[in-house]
Each structure stands twice: as structure tokens, then as C-alpha cells.
Structure 1
Amino acid sequence: MPVHSIHDTQPADRWEDAFLSGNGEYGIMVFGHPHRERIVHNHHRYVLPNESLGMRPPAVADRLEQVRDLALAGERERAQREFSDGRGMAWTQSFHPGHLLHVDTTAGDSPVEHYRRVTDFATGEVRVSWSDGEREWVRRAFVSRADAVAVVEITGPRLDLALRLSGELSGRPAEVTFTTSAEVTGDGEASLAVVGEYPPGPGAAGFTGVTRAVVTGGRVAAEGDTVRVEGATRVVLLTRMDRSAPLPRIDALRAVLAELPTEYDELLSRHAPVHGELYGRAELDLGVPDSNRGLPVGELIARADTKTLDGALIEALFHSGRYLLLSSSGVLPPRLTGLWLGEWGAAWSGDYTTDANINLQMAGAVLTGMPELIAPYAALIDGQIDDWRTNARTIYGTRGILAPSRTDGEHGLLFHLNDDWPWTMWLAGADWLLFPLYEYWQATGDDDFLARTLAPWLVEAAVFFEDFLTREDDDGHLVLVPSYSPEVGPRDGRGMSGVNATMDLAAARHALTTAAEICTHLGIEQTAVGRWRALAERLPPYRVDRQGALAEWAWPGLETADAHRHISHLYPVWPLHDITPDDTPDLAAAAREALLRRGDENLSAHGSLHRALVAARLKDSGTAKENVLKIVGRNMVFRSLMTSHNPDLEIYNADAAHCLPAVVVEMLLDSRPGIVELLPARPPEWRSGSLRGLATRAGVGVDELTWDVSEGLAKVVLTSPLERDIVLVCRDGSDQRQTVHLLPHVPTTVTVPLA
């Protein structure tokens, strides 16, 4: 059976290899020598205030017609300057780590034998154990979803420890100051506190962490900011954190901690079922020998090469990816680093980069059986939808919504731009960011969520295009101008913007037709439905260039620049299903040509992931596999199974860790309304295996999918909440198609032949 944990026989010498736990609000990172262990405490809402808090989108709506004239005349650089306001590039508030918990042995370093550290995906628990012969020490830690607290338990025959909180993390700006304290608060109890203060100005004043220490069988004393424990057999540490203006009060956090049980197992028993029920819904089995599954994580990672998708490593990454996505989703969805960071100065502010990364990270949430994780994603959008309205009104003078290319989680105003980076011209953002919510509705049929939350936003996405689309070309097609394809301009280099970027074109068509679809379904906005469908019909077709590739710009003279990590022009393939091998074979062939022609640039994780997802949709298993190998075969996996943004472990980044489960699913199962396809892009080395607990966009659950090439059979167990027919496709050598009638809540098993 697959293993739902990782273990290591070596301590983590650096924070990037720390083992991870989280509850979607707090995250902890456990690393260091057993006699000098460190636990970084993170909080999803810890961002460093900066000048962006007072920034607004550029008020350029009155220049729109002039900008359109310039863009249509080919004066794209001038159009960009006119549609900016001369500002320099500003960044979101940077995500930053909270504080360190220092756990130091004070009685001298005893020998360390049989060292082992484990992350248990099913419980969210990190365990560290070692012995010095006959005596054993154990440290356990997790972050509770039930009680919103980080919990650490330390046990051993004799514990002589110095416990301290600090802000001693690399890269901390000098203007962020820390004060720390410790005091004995009762018999066998002490309290530790750390307060970080931001520079004066707008935004939060700072952040606070408080730890309650409960000691069994020993003495407790406070010296300065350190709690000293002597001769104990057990220490339990409970930590709460907060960030606000004014500063969070230490006594308020202490009061909350005082109400909690102090038994580790009791707290774990309240958390584990909540976490475990979500995590335990899906499983991947690639028929890996148990001896390979049981390898330490360092040896698992070492099995990777650039030619073969090793089953043991892929299983581990599938399960750890779901674990990390779950652990970093709660009050907010995952950031660029998930919920974890061990030093200040995160790349790209550690924010939500919305033109690619967050959608890639969320791609497996619904499909791998955790639709509840859409709630924090929806909460992120809900918290800033008014800002999206402000963007549309201020920049374009329209109704509806316009999303920014990045957000720190506190607001969604579009200010990240300058004359050379025309983010005001990216029109696709709202449709792109709403798609995971639409996919959630397709999979679950949650009409209450659709009516209350999603439908109004989808309507606003359509209304934006209804107001925006006022220009026509010589053939009577509506023109998307100005337009932008993240983060690359046409090949001539004369400006980044242009006309009819394929991503914007796909988004406009999808926004208009989707709003019409859901309004018809709900029986609302009936007078608008016809208008939206008529506008969608007047949009130009996708363009195929002279090389037979889907062009990035559906406008004469604007040629694709192929040396880039982004593949935004393949939005119609993934995630939209607007271009498919079945329905639009010629365009699918052109999309594949575009995919193969696109260079890798810097081999960034998100670029390879996006390519793999598109390749799977195009039923190209070889290209999908090749792009997964760019990640697992190029030293991009830390010993926690968190991943890096670039090869050779450059830049701690959750894109690959969180997205790889979705890539695996897309290679083995594709779906859209009315259709479920088995093994669309199965790599040849995965000759047998099973997937359990998946959701589909056809509204049908896949309880289990199994396949065995040597036996020439695949079998799937489908369950639907409603009576319905679906077309079941398996083109893995046999191109079998059949209609399957499903009764409500009755598992239906179908066996299909493989070539």
C-alpha cells in the first residue's frame, strides 16, 4: 500500500529542508540538530506594510480611445505610456516569517543514535526521535485545525532545556524590531512572548507570538527572555499568533491559550479527524515495491532522473502535494511559498501571483477530492472584489471587474505596473481567477454557492466585456484593444502590449458564454443572456500562424515570441477545454505546435507545470512526461518534498509541490460536462496502477480507476449524485467510447479494454 508519510534519517541543516505542518492559518517548520532544534512559526496574514497601501489604479479611462487608436496603428510603446501615469513599479506587501522557537539542550550534547524525523500526511504531525543507547527522546508537533494553535510536545528520560522565542531570521529589515520576554506563570508553567514591530506608517503595527509552556516532572525558571527547564520528563508548548494595529496584546493571547487543554494527545485527537478526513479521500498507487516506498526522503529524491518518471517518487509527491496544499489552505489559499518561509525577503514578495501561479497551485484541490479548499480561495476574491470593480471603473470607465496580476491578500487594487509592464491591459484576469470556482460548481453541482457567491461575479466579468468591446475590425469582428499576454510581448519587441491577445480573447468568449450559461441555469438576468451570446459570436476566431502554431495574438503582424516561460495563449486548452482534439482537431494540432515551439527560458516550475497540463489535455503523454521530468529530474525538490521555483533548489516555492497532483490526475483522467476520459496521457512506465477518490467536471465521482496494460484492461467505478448519462472515453490504444447510465448514489463499475 502507498505510504502516507515521509521520513529522513538526517536532521535538516537549513530551513528549506524543514519538515512542515499547518492548519491554513499558522504554519510551522521543524529543523536543526536534535540538541539545537528550531521551529519557525508562520502566519498567513504576516505581510510587511509598504507604500502600496496608499496606491490606487491609474485613472486613465479618459485616455482609452486615444490608447486604442495608438495600439491599432502599431504604436504600442506609446500606447503603454499613455495608459500608465508615469509611476515606477511597486510591489505588494511582502510575506514574511513570524518568529523562531529555540529548543536547546543545556546539559551537554549526549550521543545521537537512530535519529529519525517523520511527517505524517494523514495527521499533519511532525515527529523527531533519537536515542543515546537505551534512552529515547521524542518531539512531536502539529498545527491544530480544531483549536487554531501550534502544539509541540517534548518527552524524554530527562529534559534539561533552554526555551526561547526570537526574531533571529535571516534578511530581517533593520527597521523591524523585536522584543522578547519570559516569565514563570504558575507551578510548572511559564509563558514566552515575542513582539515584532513594523516601522510607523499605514497598515498593521506589528505581530505577536505567545507560547504557553507546561512542564511535567521538573523545575521551571525564567532568565531574561529564556525559560529554563531542568529534570523534566515532558514539556508541552502551545503557541498562538496575531497581527494587527494596534499591536496584538500578549495578555489576550495568553488568555486564549489558558483555555486550551494541555495534553498533546487530546489536542491531536481533536485535530486529526478534521485534517485526516480531507487528506484521506484520494490515493495514488503505481504498483511500487514496498522497499522503494519505505526509502528515506533523501534516497527517494535521489531516484529521480531526466528520462523516467520513478513511481515511488511520483507517489510521494502526489501525496505530499495534497498534504501541503491542505496544510496551507484555510483563512487564505496558498501563497507562492505555501504557508511557510524561513527568512525575510521572499521572491516576488511571496504574494499571490495571479497570472499563472495561484491557479496552478489550486488545480488539484477539487479534482483530488478536497473541494472544501475552494472556500479560502473564494474568500480571497470576496475580500477584494470591490477593488476589482474599482480597477475596471478607474482604468476603463466600465462596469464589472478587472483583476490585478498580483495581490498580497489584503487588497486587490491594480497598482503593479509601469510604462514597460502594461498590467492595466491584461483583460483576462477575472475570468482566469474565477475559473477554479466555476470548476468547483461543475464538479459539485453546488447551486447555493453558484447563486449566492459565484454567479454575481461571473455576471460582472461578462458585463466588463460588454462595456469594453466597442471596436470592430474590417470583417466585423469585435476587437480586444488594448490587450496583453502575460508576461511577454510580440516578437518585434516594440512594446509588450498589442491587440487580441489569445488569452484575452479566450477569456472574453468564456466570460460571456459562461455568464449566459449559469444565468440560464439559475433563471436570472434573462434579458442579458442573448446580448452576451451575441457578443461572443462576434469575437474573432483563434489565429494559426505560418508555422502552423496557435498564435499568441489574433491580429495581423503580431508574431509570437517563443522564448518564454509563460504559455498564456494556451488558455483555451487548459483549463478551458475550448480547444480539444475531439471537438477542434485542427486547432488542437496548432496548439500542440505552439506548445512544442515555446522555449523553456529559465526552466521555471510554473512554466513546466503549465506545459504538462496543456500536453495532457492534448493527449500528448510524451510532452507531459517530459515537462514533469524537468522538475523531478533537475534538483527542484527539497527534503520536505516542498519544491523550488528554478532548478538546483533555487527559490523556495510551492508551485510544483501543490500542482503536481493535478498534473498526475490530468495525465490519467480528463473530464468535462458529459464526458469522462480514462488514461488520456498515461506515461508508458506507469503500466499498472490505481487512483482513488477523484472528482470530475462532469459532476461524477471516480471512486477508483485501475489499469493494467499487461492484462489489457482498465476499470473505473463511477458515482453520481443525480441520474445522468455520461460518455466514457478510453483512447489508450483502443479509443473506446460508450454511454454509461448512472443512477443516483449507485456506484457503477465499467471495464474497458486496453490495446
Structure 2
Amino acid sequence: MHGVHDIEPAGRWEDAFLSGNGEYGIMVYGHPHRERIVHDHHRYVLPNGSREMRPPSVAERLEHVRDLILAGEREQAQREFSDGRPLAWTQPFHPGHVLHLDSAAPAGRVDHYRRATDFTTGEVRVTWSDGDGEWVRRAFVSRPDAVAVVEIAGPRLDLTVRLSGDVPGHPPEVTVTTSAHAIGSGEASLAAVGTYPAGPGAAGYLGVTRLVATGGHVTVDGDVAAVHGATRVMLLTRMDRSVALPRADALRDALAELPADYDLLLARHVAVHGKLYARATLDLRVPDDDRRLPVGEILARAGAGGLDAALVEAMFHSGRYLLLSSCGVLPPRLTGLWLGAWGAAWSGDYTTDANLNLQMAGAVSTGMPELIAGYAALIGAQIEDWRANARAIYGARGVLAPSRTDGEHGLLFHLDDEWPWQMWLAGADWLLFPLHEYWQMTGDDAFLAGTLAPWLIEAATFFEDVLTREDDDGHVVIVPSYSPEVGPRDVKGVAGVNATMDVAAARHALVTAADVCSYLGIEQPAVGRWRALADRLPPYRVDDHGALAEWAWPGLETADDHRHVSHLYPVWPLHDITPDDTPDLAAAARAALLRRRDENLSAHGSLHRALCAARLKDGDTARANLLKILGRNMVFRSLMTSHNPDLEIYNADAAHCLPAVVVELLVDSRPGIVELLPALPPEWSSGSLRGIATRARVALDELSWDLRSGTVSAVLTSAHARSSRSCAVTAGTPPTGGGASTSRRTPPSPSPSGWRLVGRTDTHPG
């Protein structure tokens, strides 16, 4: 259940098996005689001049731009709220060096080949046999020791080892210099130094490998280390990137202090990694024989037309493993932590208007709240840039977030006349929401008071300064406004008024800041102002089709075909529109979801739709959107995913977000309410889910269900004394047969027909 294996090596880098510690990542091809292991680093980005770019200083034009938009001159407004700059991209994420392991003897027979990743340990293992005996190659990336570890063992190891920059698409302007040095008769040190073109930003990057041979000796010729007659070889690698050209000395000295003991290093890693990974698990009652299938056979089942339980289980566990492995110093990029070729789509950066939040959606709920630290670190390192954006563009206090970042700064420079990202006001609230949700689920008041509350206050303060116009009814007018990444249907510019996402974000930012400050007993004079301003925001608009409109402004009509569903922000992740509390708006949101076509079937679009459908208790639509990913050849043999169908563009959105989608199908929660099985797919007739955190601040230790007997049982506990309060537990309507679940649009009741609730309440500490 907790791993993936293949019976052939990777034929391309996208199929390489993966390990990582949230800073370093490795990609293991698994070739027996000619192995290639790509080493990646979260902070490897190629300088491109964007470090010196700044947001446009256009605050003095704001009122004129507002007048233009309200007069319908939206394209002119976009031009005048920019400074004529071309669209510039973030510094592109790039791969590091390659570790080459080549047998000195001619390639011989290979029997009983297997490559496998163990999710519980983070270890990638390649095994085979030949006429000489058994061969084992093991690799992982240590979280506590910050080192990539490879070990090869066999009857007699005669092989050459070298580092290189031989990665597809390597740009000629980035030079890689390699070297090797013998250290006694049984060790060697290898290095690969990449040098960037001169300019602002880092000077280069570096990988250093320590080679230790057992039972043989090592010689060096040029940049190649040759191992002769060993029974075991250990390879320890560290990496770095710096403003000054990196030097190998410090990394070499640090590697010398590590024990050359694979099992010891692995045990130290598993104590950290394994503890996090083991907290949650999904069991869809898959037969053991199906779980033991090679990955190629599991993927082949995806075209059968249903939500295959074996594939869903594998993707749930793999998704948590990959998210854990790519979260640490930073949250996951568009490609997670891995890249096997230069030229990543969209710079391989953090695209913040949808993708980053989708990838992080299951981190806390599936039992890994520690992963939020890297996400908070990304924002904390850039919050001053967000303030600079607000001052330069709106002359306002508070914070304005960019639509993308490379991880080094958060200045808003990615814009032009056609892409007015400076008009997207929802960014800060959208990006702070996962941190607020972390607090909802964990009750970490120290984090709330020391880190999050000041940022929430600044998000509210920005809206307090910017929302100065009002309509004839006394509602605040949000102008300029932008709904990522689409404009009104008339295509006369993408700028607009009262984008639903901006309305929802403004309300949430103001109310959340007020609630948090009341809870902490701070900023009391501002609390009343924020609540009053939130009350003056415009209501959501329902259009002539009965659908939630993307623009709460007359004359601006929703585009029907687009990959984004930003106007459903009130549904997911906010819980501002729910079938229970706002049934009419929920029905309008569902109509909007069904009217929005897929454009290009991008993974993030289908994931976002599935999450919204689950919140609306529409099992049919949630299931259909999962099938758009699992049934359209979007999963590589590594269980990493693609951005588009037919394995187009290596992308972690689906891989990392699928566990969150599964959780939302099986449990929904908000303060005071836990609903079980709100959108259960009919294929999953029985199963269990364990280790889930809820926004009601109770843990769902175990959820089990069985459609045949009509029973659902749950074990919920709370470890927070301050959280001891009433919590309603309900269950959704069971799905019908026939391969599709009924759409559930009515509020759940404490004892719905169809389910037999079996449970017991114990009153005791914890």
C-alpha cells in the first residue's frame, strides 16, 4: 500500500523515482549498469535580471484608472495602470548536477529487476541479479542530516563515478566545471560547479559528493573516480547556491563529518520522515494482489472509466509522500522539488493565484502540519515586498501579493498591458488562508499571535485604504478588480469591477482580522471599522442563468470556457457559500461550476472544480473532475503528474492535491461541524480513512463506511482543552448505484435516511 514499484528502468526523466527532504531532491532512473541520478535543490533558480525589477509606481493614476474602468474603457485603464513594461518572468527553476554510476564491465544479463520507492522511509531501491549474484542500489535524501545518500552493494563493484551537468536543455551560457580528488585509497571527493552568466543574483551552484568504498580501492583520473573490487560503495552529496561563486571546501568538510553508514543515516531520517508520513492512511479495500501490481499495470487500469480504488489509493499515499518530500525550506514549486531538464514551463516557480494553494491543500488535513513552516517561511521572507507593492501601486498601507514568485522575492513585476496582475486584490488573503486554516485545525495560538495575526491585520488594512468608492446603494465598489486569469465575456479587456474573488477575499480579510484580533484582545479600535466595512461590501450576484456571476457588477458577464474557477473562492476554500447555510447561493455556485467549460483540461482546473463540487455535495461533478485527471493519461510512472492530458508538462498540482480532494469527498468540516461522506463516490463501497485533522479542531482518528450494510462509524478526539465545545457530527446521503452518485444539495440532518449511525460518546480528558 505504501510504495510504488516498476519492473523496468525509467525511459525518461519524468518517470524517474523520487526522494527528497524539502531542500534536496533526487531523481533515480534505475538503470542497472548505467545509472543516472539527477540532484535538485529548491533554491536553484537561474538569474535573469528580474531581481532588479520593481512594481510600477502608478499610485497617482489610481483615481483616473478607476474612472476609465467604470466608464467601460477597460483596455485603456490597463495600459495607464502599467508603465509600458513587457511581461517579465521569474527566475526559472533549474536542475542541478547528475551523478553517473557506470559499470566497468560490459552490460550483462539482468534478472528479477525491480525498482521501488518506499513511502514510509523515502528510500528508492533498485535490485537485480545476474550470474554473479544479487545487486542492490539504495538511495534517499535525509531530512535531519541534509544529505543525499546512495549506496551500491554487490558481489564485486568495478565502476566509474562522476558528476556532470549533462541535463537536457542545458543552456550554453551556464558552465559546469567538474573535478575529482582521491582521499587515501578508499575514498574520493567529486564536485560539480555551475557558473551563471554575470549579473544580479547568485553567481552559481555547487554539488559535492563524498565516495567511500568498502573492500576495494579507489583511483582518480581527471574528474572520474574508479572503484575497483569493492563490495559496497557509499555516496554522500550536499549542494549549495550562493551570491559568491560557491566553494567545495565547506561542503567537503561537512560531508567528512557524517558517518559513512547507510543504515544509521536512514534510521535517523525515518525517525522524522516516517513519523509524519504514517499519520494518515486510506484503505479502499483493494485486494492485496492489486496493490502488488507494478506501476505500469496500475496506471493501465485508469482508462476503465471509473475511479479505480487501487489507483486512487496509490495516488493518495504517493501524493502525501511527494508533498512531504518537497516541503521544507520552501513549499512545493510547480514541479514539486524535482526537474530533470532545463526550461521548466512557467519558470517552474510558485504560481500563487491557484497552483500553490491547491498543492498545499492537504498538508495539514492529512496529518502533516509541520509542512506549513516552509509555506510560512516563503511569505515571511517576502512580506516587506508585499508592502512595497501596496505602496507603489495603490499608495496604501498593508500588503499586496504577486501572482508568482521564484522564492527569492515577492515584488509584483510580472504584468503588462494585457495581464494586469496589479489589479488582483485577493492575493494576500488567498495566500494567507492556508495559514489561517492551519490555526483553525491545530489551535497553535503562539503561531497566530507571533506570526499570522500581524499579516492578517495588514491584509485588512490594505482593503481599508483601497475601498474608497461606493455605488448608489451604498455598497463599496472594488475597482480596479481582476479575476485570475480571465476577463468578462465581452473580451474588451480583462480588468473589471467587483470580481467575485476580490469581493470574497475582501470580506474574508476584514472579518478574519476582526475575529482574530478579538480573540487575541488586540487592535480593538480597528475591529469595529473592519466589520463595518465588510458589511458594506457588495452581495454576490446571480446572473440570468441562475449561476454565481464572476463579476458582481451589472454589464460584466462571466466567460463560459476557462481553466480557472476563481469566482468559486467563496465555496472553496472559504466555506462562505455552503448548501447548509446559503442553499440558494450554493445552487447558483453549482450552476456556475457546471456552466464553466474546461478550456484545456489543465490539472489545476479539474482539481479546483472537484474541490468545489465536494463542498457543494455534488458527488457526480467531483467524480467527473477526478476522472479528467485519472482517465486522461496524466500520471507518470513515478506517480508524479502532468499539467495537461497525455503527459504534457511535468507538474505537481495533481500529485500533491489529490489527497486533499479525497479527503473533501469523505469529510467536510468547519468550526462546530464535521460532516462525514458528503460526496462519496459509488465505486468506494467500503473503506476507511485515518488520521485527518478538521477545522472543528477535533481529529478524525478513523472513519469507516460500508454501503452494503448502510453503516458509517467515526472516532473523533480533541486534544485541546480550549476546543472543548459543541460539535455537530452529520453524515451525507449515501450514493446510489449505477456508477454515479446523486447530487446532494439539501442540508444534512443529524440522522439522515439511508445511513445507520453507530457510535458512542466517551467523556474523558483528550
Task: Read off the aligned partner of 2:493 and give its amino acid letter.
Answer: G
Match of 2:750 in 1: 737
Q: Counterpart of 2:18 in 1: which secondary structure?
A: strand
In the other structure, the counterpart of 1:161 is 159
DSSP-derived class of the 2:665 partner: helix
- The offset of 1:305, in angstroms, is 2.2
Is this contact kept in 1: 2:158–2:230, CA < 8 A? yes
After TM superposition, the structure 1 = structure 2 runs for residues 464-543 of structure 1, keeping only pairs within 5 Å, are 464-543=462-541
Instruction: Determine if contact 1:645/1:652 at 8 Å carries over to the other structure.
Output: yes
Unaligned 5+ segments in structure 1 are 747-755
- Report whether the alignment pairs 1:145 with 2:143: yes
Deviations 1:533-592 (A, max 9, x none): 000000010000000000000000000001100000000000000000010000000000
Query: SS of the residue aligned with 2:108?
Result: coil
Corresponding position of 1:750: none
- What is the aligned partner in structure 1 of residue 262 from structure 2? 264
Q: Which amino acid aligns with 1:152?
A: V
Q: What is the TM-score normalised by the length of structure 2?
A: 0.96
Residue by residue over 1:694-739, the C-alpha shift from the partner in whole angstroms, topping out at 9 and shown as x without a partner, is 0001101000000001111100000012322101111224944179
CA contact (8 A) 1:725 1:741 kept: no
- The equivalent of 1:749 in structure 2 is none
Cα distance in structure 1, aligned partners of 2:678 and 2:184: 63
Percent identity, please. 76
1:634-673 alignment to 2 at 5 Å?
634-673=632-671
> Among residues 212, 229, 240, which one is paired with 2:227 in the alignment?
229
Residue aligned with 1:475, SS: coil
In structure 1, the residue corresponding to 2:60 is in which secondary structure?
helix
Distance in 1 between residues matched to 2:454 and 2:611, nearest whole Å: 29
Deviations 1:580-605 (A, max 9, x none): 00100000000000000001011000
- Give CA-to-partner distance per residue, 1:660-702, whole Å, 9 cap, x none: 0000000000000000000000001111000000000110100
CA displacement 1:444-503 (0-9 Å, x = unmatched): 011100000000000000000000010001111000000000000000000011000000
- Given residue 729 of structure 1, which amino acid in structure 2 is its aligned partner? T
- Which residue of 85, 105, 110 corresponds with 2:108? 110
Paired letter, 1:728: V
- Three-state SS of the structure 1 residue aligned to 2:293 is coil
CA distance in 2, matches of 1:456, 1:245: 31
In the aligned structure 2, how far is the partner of 1:267 from the partner of 1:33?
24
Cα distance in 2 for partners of 1:141, 1:731 equals 44
Report what 1:345 is aligned to. Answer: 343
Contact 2:680 2:734 survives alignment (8 Å): no
Query: For 2:209, what is the secondary structure of its paired residue?
Result: strand
Q: Which residue of 2 aligns with 1:43?
A: 41
Alignment partner, residue 24 of structure 2:
26
Q: Deviations over 1:605-658 (max 9, x none)?
A: 000000000000000001000000000100000001000000000000000000
Match of 2:292 among 277, 294, 298: 294
Q: Give the C-alpha shift of residue 743 in structure 1.
A: 4.8
Is 1:687 matched up with 2:688? no
CA distance in 1 between partners of 2:217 and 2:533 (Å) = 76
In the alignment, the residues of structure 1 paired with residue 271 and residue 143 of structure 2 have an alpha-carbon distance, to the nearest angstrom, of 10
8 Å contact kept, 2:185–2:219 = no
Q: CA shift at 1:187, angstroms? A: 2.7
Select the residue among 96, 117, 120 that pairs with 1:119.
117
3-state SS of the aligned residue for 1:637?
A: coil
Measure, in 1, the Cα distance between the counterparts of 2:183 and 2:48.
37
Cα distance in 2 for partners of 1:127, 1:297 equals 15
Q: What residue number does 2:743 align with?
A: none
Q: Residues 47-62 of structure 1: matches in 2 within 5 Å? A: 47-62=45-60
Give the match's secondary structure for 2:750.
Answer: strand
Distance change (3 Å), C-alpha of 1:537 and 1:743? farther
For 1:14, which of 12, 15, 20 is the aligned residue?
12
Q: Which residue of 2 aligns with 1:436?
A: 434
Mapped to 2, the partners of 1:346 and 1:501 lie a distance apart of 31
**Whole-angstrom distance in 2 between the partners of 1:684 and 1:618:** 17
Distance 1:586 1:357, change over 3 A: same
Query: How far apart, in 2, do the equivalents of 1:257 and 1:724 lie?
Result: 52
How far off is 1:230 after superposition?
1.4
Partner of 1:418: 416
Deviations 1:130-159 (A, max 9, x none): 001460110000000010000000000011
C-alpha distance in 1 between matches for 2:760 and 2:470: 45
Please give the alpha-carbon distance, in whole angstroms, between the structure 2 residues aligned to 1:476 and 1:736.
Answer: 38
Q: For the structure 1 residues 741 and 478, does the alpha-carbon distance in structure 2 shift closer, same or farther, using more than 3 Å as the test? A: farther
Query: 3-state SS of the aligned residue for 1:68?
Result: helix
> CA 1:731/1:111 → structure 2, altered by over 3 Å: closer, same or farther?
same
Task: Please state how far the C-alpha of 1:128 moved relative to its aligned partner.
Answer: 0.1
Instruction: Show the counterpart of 2:744.
Output: none
Distance (Å, rounded) in 2 between the aligned partners of 1:698 and 1:150? 39
Q: Does the CA-based 8 Å contact 2:6-2:114 persist in structure 1?
A: yes
Corresponding residue number in structure 2 for 1:724: 725
Deviation at 1:352, TM superposition (A): 0.1
> Which residue of 563, 566, 569 corresponds with 2:564?
566
2:401–2:427 CA contact under 8 A, matched in 1: yes
The alpha-carbon distance between structure 1 residues 715 and 632, as it changes in their structure 2 partners (threshold 3 A), is: same
Task: Report the secondary structure of 1:586's partner residue.
Answer: helix
The amino acid of 1:104's aligned partner reads D
Moved more, 19-28 or 245-254: 245-254
For residue 463 of structure 1, the aligned residue among 461, 465, 472 is 461
User: Alpha-carbon deviation of 1:110?
Assistant: 1.7
1:209 equivalent to 2:207? Answer yes
In structure 2, what is the Cα distance between the partners aligned to 1:742 and 1:531?
43
Q: Which residue of 1 aligns with 2:327?
A: 329
How far is the alpha carbon of 1:741 from its aligned partner?
7.1
1:33 positional shift: 2.2
Secondary structure of 1:180's counterpart equals strand
**Distance (Å, rounded) in 2 between the aligned partners of 1:344 and 1:745:** 54
Indicate the SS of the match to 1:376: helix
Structure 1 306/382 Cα, relative in aligned 2: closer, same or farther at 3 Å?
Answer: farther
Partner of 1:624: 622
Q: CA–CA distance in 1 between the matches of 2:763 and 2:403? A: 43
| C-alpha contact 1:725 1:742 (8 A) present in aligned 2 | no
Q: Is the 8 A contact 2:30 2:126 kept in 1?
A: no
Q: Deviations over 1:346-365 (max 9, x none)?
A: 00000000000000000000
Structure 1 pair 496/741, CA: closer, same or farther in 2 (3 Å)?
A: farther
Question: Retained in 2: the 8 A contact 1:337–1:652?
Answer: yes
TM-score normalised by the chain length of structure 1? 0.98
Map of 1:453 onto structure 2 = 451
Distance, in Å, in 1 between the alignment partners of 2:194 and 2:290 is 45
The alpha carbon displacement at 1:397 in A equals 0.3
Instruction: Tell me if structure 1 keeps the 8 A contact 2:707–2:734.
Output: no
Matched residue of 2:120: which SS? coil
